[in-house]
């Protein structure tokens, strides 16, 4: 069997299976798979652990919601049975996750440790990577993790590129032009890079921080740190909780600022909070919570909007009017007020234990956010529903569901991505606002939430402890800006005629 390493032009119009095309020219796919396998093995435990953490929350929320609904409508016995199945599934997920997180990874804090202590007043440092100063050891690990994450993202894109060049049946599809335009769209590329950076924070947060959420925030009195005591001239140990108590940032005279050490030899890249906890670790934990909630909410909203958009366009008439009425009814209720009311009503309910209120927020955002996305896809869906190929498919007896999936969804998915990415910013801001308000709203303690950090530091903005509110605020702005930039880039890539060349077009695009 001959082995070529050139684009497979002979497959234009070929109806052979992907397996046969891979068999005819395996080398490009094997090379890509070999590199992908190496990248996966390097951080296999982190990937599996992060994936199972999200899966744990989804299973807990979904099964609990089903149990509650069936318990109210049928019988409490069914609810009890589902809860028993839920406990069994979650136990298995926790077991696998614990095993996965115990797998050594190349870029873990165990491999490149930064937490150590001095052996004397001026050093040297012990228990850090190669005896480096904690600041340098932490910076090395963070740099390697970020580089690794971007290499993985590039290699995933490279996989699509290899498929497009060597194995795809068609020489060209509209997606090629969309991606090429997006790659040359600087504002859109900026959005992609920002989103990738925050996804890296969410996935590799435990390794990025100078310490862990569990040790520094959730169970500080169950963990110890060693440090060199200037008073005794010896290496002492203290619980993390006591160290935090003596490392608070509360303005002049009591402050541990960004890129500094506390009196317990601990390095704080973003400084500490008013309770002495490490702000960088807090922000990384908040990134995971934020990305998870936004992902669930946007996925739910997009799924509902796409389904209802195609159904209302395909059947039109009474069905379209009914969906429009429901959408208008949901839109008429102020979302933030509804979130506050529901959060207060469900305070103490079992669902608030999932992501400490984050899952409840995701459901609420998903159920209240779809009308905006539905309006965005309804127009394109109505347009494609009137095309001849849809009428032809219907006349040949294809089922409506199949027609919507094969002939309508590919046309509206681009618009769905554009408006979904732009809607993410509003969810992020609303989450932060609820956590800022506190009193059981939003994501509750001890799970980190960016809005809560802003609330803790609002009284110290004009003091040396300005970092407590400013840094979380800047991160929120960066993530929202990145999501909007990605949406702008996708919009201009899908429809080049909308690319902003004047102030009027820019304003129109921003309000899309």
From 104, 128, 146, the end of a domain falls on 104
CA distance 287 to 449: 8
273 and 295 belong to one structural domain: no
Domain-embedded: residue 152: no
Domain-embedded: residue 198: no
- Pick the closest to residue 191 from 488, 430, 431, 511 (CA basis): 488
Look at the chain and report how many structural domains it folds into: 3
- Pick the closest to residue 473 from 455, 491, 447, 500 (CA basis): 455
235 and 355 belong to one structural domain: no
316 and 246 belong to one structural domain: no
DSSP 264: T
412-440: pLDDT as tens digits: 888 898 999 989 999 999 899 888 887 77
From 259, 277, 295, the end of a domain falls on 277
Close Cβ partners of 245 (under 8 Å, ≥ 6 residues apart): 275, 276
248: left (phi over 0), alpha (psi -120 to 50) or beta: beta
Instruction: Provide the pLDDT for residue 9.
Output: 47
**C-alpha dist (Å) from residue 194 to 72, 143, 187, 197:** 44, 16, 11, 5
- Pick the closest to residue 374 from 330, 339, 338, 427 (CA basis): 330
35-81: pLDDT as tens digits: 999 998 888 877 787 778 778 777 776 776 676 667 666 666 776 77
**C-alpha dist (Å) from residue 205 to 138, 144, 304:** 13, 13, 31
Instruction: Provide the pLDDT for residue 49.
Output: 77
Runs of H (alpha helix) within 74-169: 76-101, 134-162
CA distance 512 to 494: 14
Contact 268, 282 (CB under 8 A): no
Contact 454, 473 (CB under 8 A): yes
88 and 73 belong to one structural domain: yes
Q: What count of other Cβ atoms lies within 10 Å of the Cβ of residue 195?
A: 19
Instruction: Provide the pLDDT for residue 48.
Output: 81
Instruction: Provide the pLDDT for residue 503.
Output: 37
Over the chain (512 residues), the average pLDDT of each successive run of 10 is 48 66 92 94 80 76 69 67 79 82 78 92 91 95 94 95 89 85 93 94 88 92 93 92 94 91 94 95 91 89 92 90 92 84 76 78 89 91 86 84 87 88 91 83 85 92 94 95 93 75 37 34
Instruction: Provide the pLDDT for residue 444.
Output: 83
CA distance 481 to 274: 28
287 and 269 belong to one structural domain: no
Domain-embedded: residue 444: yes
From 227, 249, 277, the end of a domain falls on 277
Dihedrals φ, ψ of 312, to 5°? -65, -35
Instruction: Provide the pLDDT for residue 68.
Output: 64
Domain-embedded: residue 28: no
Cα 21 versus chain centre, distance: 35
Domain-embedded: residue 20: no
Looking up residue 466, the CATH number of its domain turns out to be: 1.10.3720.10
The model carries a pTM of 0.85
CA atoms within 13 A on the CB side of 42: 15
Instruction: Provide the pLDDT for residue 415.
Output: 87
Instruction: Provide the pLDDT for residue 83.
Output: 73
**Which residue's entry shows tokens 């539905």?**
374
443 and 461 belong to one structural domain: yes
Domain-embedded: residue 169: no
Q: Quote the crossing angle between the two packed helices 358-385 and 409-437, to the nearest 10°.
A: 150
Q: Residue 420: give the domain boundaries.
A: 280-510
**C-alpha dist (Å) from residue 472 to 290, 453, 456:** 12, 7, 11
């Amino acid at each position: 069997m001959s082995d070529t390493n050139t684009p497979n032009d002979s497959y234009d119009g070929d109806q052979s299976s992907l397996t046969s095309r891979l068999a005819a020219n395996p080398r490009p796919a094997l090379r890509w798979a070999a590199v992908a396998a190496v990248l996966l093995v390097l951080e296999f435990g982190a990937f599996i652990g992060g994936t199972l953490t999200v899966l744990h929350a989804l299973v807990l929320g979904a099964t609990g919601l089903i149990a509650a609904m069936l318990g109210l409508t049928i019988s409490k016995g069914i609810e009890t049975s589902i809860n028993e199945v839920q406990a069994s599934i979650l136990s298995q997920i926790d077991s696998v996750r614990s095993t996965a997180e115990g797998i050594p990874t190349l870029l873990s804090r165990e491999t490149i440790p930064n937490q150590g202590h001095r052996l004397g007043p001026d050093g040297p440092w012990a228990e850090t990577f190669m005896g480096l100063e904690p600041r340098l050891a932490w910076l090395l690990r963070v740099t390697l993790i970020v580089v690794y994450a971007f290499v993985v993202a590039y290699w995933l894109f490279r996989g699509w590129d290899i498929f497009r060049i060597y194995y795809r049946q068609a020489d060209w599809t509209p997606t090629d032009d969309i991606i090429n335009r997006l790659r040359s769209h600087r504002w859109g590329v900026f959005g992609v890079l920002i989103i990738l950076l925050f996804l890296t924070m969410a996935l590799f947060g435990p390794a990025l921080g100078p310490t862990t959420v569990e040790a520094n925030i959730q169970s500080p009195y169950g963990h110890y740190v060693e440090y060199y005591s200037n008073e005794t001239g010896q290496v002492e140990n203290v619980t993390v909780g006591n160290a935090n108590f003596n490392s608070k940032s509360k303005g002049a005279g009591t402050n541990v600022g960004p890129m500094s050490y506390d009196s317990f030899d601990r390095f704080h890249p973003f400084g500490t909070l008013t309770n002495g906890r490490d702000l960088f670790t807090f922000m990384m934990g908040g990134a995971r919570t934020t990305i998870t909630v936004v992902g669930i909410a946007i996925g739910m909203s997009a799924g509902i909007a796409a389904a209802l958009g195609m159904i209302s366009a395909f059947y039109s008439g009474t069905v379209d009017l009914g969906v429009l009425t429901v959408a208008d009814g949901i839109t008429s209720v102020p979302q933030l007020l509804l979130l506050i009311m529901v959060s207060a009503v469900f305070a103490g309910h079992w669902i608030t234990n999932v992501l400490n209120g984050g899952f409840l927020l995701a459901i609420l955002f998903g159920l209240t956010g779809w009308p905006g996305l539905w309006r965005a896809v309804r127009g394109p869906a109505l347009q494609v529903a009137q095309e001849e190929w849809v009428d032809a498919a219907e006349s040949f007896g294809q089922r409506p569901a199949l027609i919507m999936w094969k002939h309508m969804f590919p046309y509206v998915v681009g618009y769905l991505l554009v408006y979904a990415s732009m809607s993410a910013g509003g969810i992020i801001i609303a989450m932060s606002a609820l956590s800022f308000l506190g009193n059981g709203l939003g994501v509750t303690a001890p799970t980190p939430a960016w809005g809560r950090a802003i609330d803790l530091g609002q009284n110290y903005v004009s003091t040396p402890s300005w970092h407590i509110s400013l840094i979380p605020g800047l991160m929120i702005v960066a993530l929202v800006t990145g999501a909007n930039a990605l949406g702008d880039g996708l919009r201009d890539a899908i429809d080049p005629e909308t690319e902003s060349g004047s102030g009027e077009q820019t304003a129109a695009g921003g309000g899309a």
